[in-house]
Amino acid sequence: MPFEVPENWVWVKVKDVFEINPKNEIEDETKVSFIPMTLISDNFANKHTSEIRKWKEVKKGFTHFQEGDVGIAKITPCFENRKSVIFKDLENGFGAGTTELHILRPKSDEVLNSYLLYFAETEMFIMNGVQQFSGAVGQQRVGKNVIEETFFPLPPLAEQRRIVSVIESAFALIDEIEDSKTSLQQIIKQAQAKTLDLAIKGKLVNASRHCGLDPQSPASTTADNSPYRDLKEGWKRCRLKEVGIVFSGKTPKSDELVEQGKYPYFKVSDMNVAGNEKYMNIVTNWLPETYNGIIFPDNSIIFPKNGGAVLTNKKRILTQKSLVDLNTGGFTPSKELYFPFAYYFFLTIDFSTLHKGGVLPTVDKNVIENINILLPPLPEQKLIVERIENIFSILDSMLENL
């Protein structure tokens, strides 16, 4: 036996207490639930949805089941992902669905279907099935014979009920923790956004004086910047074009690209490539040393400016001299604008609200150039960045600990 069990438990084989893959005998015109694999949840969820079909439409070529049956996915990776479920609220109590399920039906009332479900989701059951997979790679399955011959630790019915109750209480607590974790993650992200908001208004280092409006406020885009009143000493109001260069990318010809070269070339879609969310450091396209077109400097901030990507509102940093495509915009700060301060300022700009056009959103270069920025003296910019990064470090540590 796999392990010792209490004296009042018994070891049985699954086939001794469950009917495997039974068939339904019902009238052709009866409406039933139809459940393909995509409508079954994985990872301990024990949930499914269904479509309504007539029995004559699904009785052939599909797996049969009825109310209370346990379905266990037999194909990889669904099996390992614990796509298993107790069928509930079926139309007229019957259903059919994906052929990639084994259906188990208790032979007596002395076995709880929920106890079987949790047994089928244990690591022991999963590993036993994986070790006996058959079929071609990518289409491997757990055979019916493997399920039938699996040893099943069976306690008395009352103890099954107690075990199921404890499991469900524990799962409910875990779900509550997960929900709280998600809420806390959202709060932390909001705190990061608020930190940047205070920083660009001059309230993060010294909150004693008001320093202007949010740069995206409609009122802040007037020609004379009149809403910016009561600036802190040494601060000045200006537009992005006065403290750096706003540029638009250029798409090279396909025959100019090489497998490995001197200059990276990034398309707007490369901002979605997995990696550091701050830097463009995964290169899939290159330009040779002989390329004589425009190249943008490192420590430039880039962002989508044409197409649906505008709505993602992403910003990235070029870590080396590079070219970006025509759907990408960029900004290179002047010497009076501390680069990390410029980057954090850009994080506060919501380009998804600055575009024109519906089907093909576009952010005009002149709109970007005329975005207002409150510019503190260089030493204060560095102090603000230091304060931002200290706060972000604490918030990131909280996220990590979650």
Q: Is the pLDDT of residue 222 over 60?
A: no
pTM of this structure: 0.59
Report the distance separating Cα 120 and Cα 83, nearest Å. 10
Place of tokens 């918030």: 395
Q: What is the mean pLDDT of residues 379-395?
A: 94
Give the per-residue pLDDT at 275: 59
Amino acid at 219: A
Up-side HSE of residue 126: CA atoms within 13 Å toward CB? 16
Q: Is the pLDDT of residue 225 over 50?
A: no
Q: Sorting pLDDT into bands at 50, 70 and 90, what band is 377? A: very high
What residue ranges define each of the domains in the chain, with the CATH number in brackets? 10-155 (3.90.220.20), 206-379 (3.90.220.20)
Alpha helices, DSSP H only, in 252-338? none
Q: Sorting pLDDT into bands at 50, 70 and 90, what band is 216? A: very low
- For residue 256, give the DSSP letter: G
First vs last Cα of the chain: how many Å apart?
39
3-class DSSP state for residue 44? coil
- For residue 232, give the DSSP letter: P
Report the distance separating Cα 324 and Cα 296, nearest Å. 8
Report the distance separating Cα 395 and Cα 402, nearest Å. 11
What's the token pair of residue 56?
């004559």
Give the per-residue pLDDT at 201: 84
Cis-peptide, bond into residue 227, ω within 30° of zero: no
What's the token pair of residue 335?
């010497």
Q: Sorting pLDDT into bands at 50, 70 and 90, what band is 323? A: very high
> Residue 31 belongs to what H/E stretch?
strand 31-35
Quick one: angle between helices 113-120 and 157-200, nearest 10? 60
Q: Sorting pLDDT into bands at 50, 70 and 90, what band is 387? A: very high
For 176-195, write each residue's pLDDT tens digit. Answer: 888 888 888 889 889 999 99
What's the token pair of residue 253?
């010809």
List strand residue ranges (DSSP E) for 235-392, in order: 236-239, 244-248, 263-266, 279-280, 286-287, 301-304, 316-318, 323-324, 328-333, 372-375
Q: How many helices (H) and strands (E) does the chain have?
A: 9, 20
- For residue 304, give the DSSP letter: E
Average model confidence (pLDDT) for the chain?
89
Place of tokens 């956004």: 193
Alpha helices, DSSP H only, in 4-112? 14-17, 55-58
Q: Is the pLDDT of residue 342 over 90?
A: yes
3-class DSSP state for residue 51? strand
What's the token pair of residue 28?
């052709």
Q: Is the pLDDT of residue 90 over 80?
A: yes
Please give the backbone phi and psi of residue 97, each rounded to the nearest 5 degrees, phi first. Answer: -175, -155
C-alpha Rg value of the chain to the nearest Å: 31
Give the per-residue pLDDT at 274: 55
